[in-house]
A and B are shown apart, each in its own frame.
Chain A
Amino acid sequence: MSSIIEERLEPPVGIPDSGEDVIERQDDGTISSQLLWMLRKNKLAAFSFLVICVIMAAALAVPLYTPYDPNRPSLGERFAPPSAAHWAGCDDLGRDQFVRLIYGARISIMIGLLPTTISMVFGTVLGLIGGYFGGRADFWIMRFADVVLAFPSLLLAMVVSYTLGGGIMSIFVALSVVSWAGTARVIRAQTMSLREKEFVEAARSIGVRPGVIIFRHILPNCVPNLIVLFTLNIPGAILNESSLSFLGVGAAPPSTSWGLMIYRYKTYLMSYPWLAIAPGVAILIFVLAFNFLGDGVRDAMDPYMKD
């Protein structure tokens, strides 16, 4: 029998083990290696990634390096213009604007990450269930999603936020409620197409249970889409938070967020423009960085963009 097997083995003409082959890519096909490859290849995405990391690190470590307390007024320095001591000047209570920006980043980033994660987990689970099992469950999940999507999302978030009485927690809930439906739709559509794939049929013919099929065969193939959705949902959440704060139903003083800062300083836009412009620029940079990163991830995950 061993001779038969020897004969059956294909000599490795086509795929040399050097890893230099058209079929064979240098990455091993795992998601992390695809992302690494993307960061090496796509300078803009890599730079965006760096910017995001720097902002996050700065926000986390801010008490370690700043001499200023973000919430203590210092009336002698009211409306101080940007200087070496106060990089972004001071606000109407003489608080250091740059330090407040960085503290604001904490809330904005948390709002970017947490509700996005919650809503995506929620949306993914519903999308998987609806897409795989179809039928009545699918019908109700999708009608529910349609209702949410049909509502103006900001208005819905405001209603939820008001009802819950404002504050950070209510913003979390509000943003989670408005953004799961998009994820659910995307994941459902992908699940439906994956369900028809032959490898799922193969698993069924082996006798693998539906729950295992969903988690072993379908979910991992949705991950690239989820990562893309994630990076693109974060800026959406940050912008929504800014809007909510600007409309007065967001973060409550004295804690601050970028949106709240714009809201507070809009009255000084003519006289002390840097106060409102600085948080605006911060939002712009952060959101753009995530968008560029998201585009990079999408291209890296899309086989047609390769080579």
Chain B
Amino acid sequence: MGENMGQTQGNGGALYIKNLRTHFFTRNGVAPAVDDVTISIPRKGIVGVVGESGCGKSVTALSVLRLVSSPGKIVSGSIVLDGEDLVSKSPREMRQIRGNKVSMIFQEPMTSLNPVYTVGKQVVEAMILHQGAGKKEARDRAIEMFKAVGIPEAEKRFGSYPHQLSGGLRQRVMIAMAMVCRPKLMIADEPTTALDVTIEAQILHQMKELERTTDTSIMLITHNMGVVAEICDYVYVMYAGRIMEQANVFDLFDHTMHPYTTGLLNSIPRSGRGGGRLYNIKGMVPSLLNLPEGCRFRPRCEHAAPECGKFEPELYEADRGHWVRCYRYRDCGGGDME
């Protein structure tokens, strides 16, 4: 793949991940969790990275923050954030960048908030640390941020401890903390998976608002196609460490090309049981230590042909801005969904 997105979006964008490989060196072998992944995130915009567990979406995010822990290691590739290559940064420089230029929110906010400090203090600390802001100024901006992410009674909540807040409020605090230093990029790893639907809708709405009112880009990592459809502009579909398909969200849903994406979309129950059994992708995600020859999706693919087992297909621009890693996308693309 290589050059596909780089020239068009890479330079002007917020983040350009190029040919990233992050491998895990386990005692049973090397697991290529992220294998030659190129992702480009434009300034202002929500880019979705979607896939099932183990596809490498979270490791990609952690690689950007250089938080991959042993036995995982970035093997090759570059991660350019705002003109700087993060792969070559020292741990110390990375600490300065994290939370400042790029910040991350996680699925379970309770684990990333310190239970012994008030949430206000934690947000203020982040600001003092990264921006050298004064206490008073930091506090004002934190409260402003709390209001911006839709925390009711922001001044009162400022003095609350994490356990005194509901899951939705905690996630808002996390977003406030992530946004308070006006990062170039916010990475959201399954930000709404642990939340109830009505709260999820609020948080997604809030993220969309933030994207519109600030110039922060958002990289949204999720397994939920509904969430992708709801707020993403551009989508990468990952499977077993590879990008299988990438497209504008409307193209992806309207003219699905890769059989895996088609399978994912068809697996979602959409109506009553009138039609009987649900479509499902047979089998399971392959082990990263024992990947199939050729196309990694081949053993589960309904359209697999002999050539699929010989060489792995390249990512190929089948339509403008719509890339697919499949030899047979013409024959099997889901086309129009409904």
Q: Which A residues have a C-beta under 8 Å from some C-beta of B?
A: 10-11, 13-16, 18, 20-23, 26, 307
24 contacts between A and B (CB under 8 A): A10-B282, A10-B284, A11-B282, A13-B283, A13-B284, A13-B286, A13-B299, A14-B284, A14-B287, A15-B284, A15-B287, A16-B287, A16-B290, A20-B28, A20-B287, A20-B290, A21-B28, A21-B290, A22-B26, A22-B54, A22-B289, A26-B28, A307-B26, A307-B27
- Chain B: CB-nearest residue to A306: B27
* A18: B residues at CB distance < 8 A: 290
* A13: B residues at CB distance < 8 A: 283-286, 292, 299-300
Cα distance A14–B289 when bound, in Å?
A: 10
Any A CB within 8 A of the CB of B71: yes
Cα distance A14–B286 when bound, in Å?
A: 4
- Chain A: CB-nearest residue to B288: A22
Cα distance A13–B289 when bound, in Å?
A: 12
Known pairs A20-B29, A307-B26, A307-B71; A14 contacts B285 (CB<8 A): yes
Any A CB within 8 A of the CB of B37: no
Any A CB within 8 A of the CB of B86: no
Q: Which of B26, B29, B290 has the most CB of A within 10 A?
A: B290
Taking a contact as CB atoms under 8 Å apart, the answer to whether A11 and B287 are in contact is no
* B287: A residues at CB distance < 8 A: 14-16, 20-23
Any A CB within 8 A of the CB of B31: yes
Cα distance A21–B292 when bound, in Å?
A: 13
- Chain A: CB-nearest residue to B298: A13
Closest CB-CB distance, A43 to chain B, in whole Å?
15
- Chain A: CB-nearest residue to B285: A14
Taking a contact as CB atoms under 8 Å apart, the answer to whether A10 and B283 are in contact is yes
Closest CB-CB distance, A8 to chain B, in whole Å?
10
Cα distance A10–B283 when bound, in Å?
A: 5
Q: Identify B289's interface contact among A10, A11, A20, CB under 8 A.
A: A20
List B169-224 residues whose CB lies under 8 Å from chain A: none
Closest CB-CB distance, A300 to chain B, in whole Å?
13
Cα distance A10–B71 when bound, in Å?
A: 30
- Chain A: CB-nearest residue to B25: A307
Cα distance A280–B14 when bound, in Å?
A: 65
- Chain A: CB-nearest residue to B70: A307
* B285: A residues at CB distance < 8 A: 13-14
Cα distance A18–B287 when bound, in Å?
A: 12
Cα distance A237–B292 when bound, in Å?
A: 55
Cα distance A11–B31 when bound, in Å?
A: 22
Cα distance A22–B284 when bound, in Å?
A: 13
- Chain A: CB-nearest residue to B33: A22
Closest CB-CB distance, B26 to chain A, in whole Å?
5
- Chain A: CB-nearest residue to B28: A20
Q: Which of A18, A22, A23 has the most CB of B within 10 A?
A: A22
Taking a contact as CB atoms under 8 Å apart, the answer to whether A11 and B28 are in contact is no
* B283: A residues at CB distance < 8 A: 10-11, 13-14
Taking a contact as CB atoms under 8 Å apart, the answer to whether A22 and B282 are in contact is no
Taking a contact as CB atoms under 8 Å apart, the answer to whether B27 and A11 are in contact is no
Cα distance A10–B284 when bound, in Å?
A: 8
List B35-68 residues whose CB lies under 8 Å from chain A: 54
Cα distance A18–B290 when bound, in Å?
A: 10
Q: Mark B279-310, 1 if CB is under 8 A from A, else 0.
A: 00011111111101000000110000000000
Cα distance A13–B286 when bound, in Å?
A: 6
Q: Which of B283, B285, B287 has the most CB of A within 10 A?
A: B287
Cα distance A13–B285 when bound, in Å?
A: 7
Taking a contact as CB atoms under 8 Å apart, the answer to whether B289 and A21 are in contact is yes
Cα distance A167–B300 when bound, in Å?
A: 72
- Chain A: CB-nearest residue to B71: A307
Closest CB-CB distance, A20 to chain B, in whole Å?
5
Cα distance A13–B287 when bound, in Å?
A: 8
Closest CB-CB distance, A37 to chain B, in whole Å?
10
* B71: A residues at CB distance < 8 A: 307
- Chain B: CB-nearest residue to A41: B27
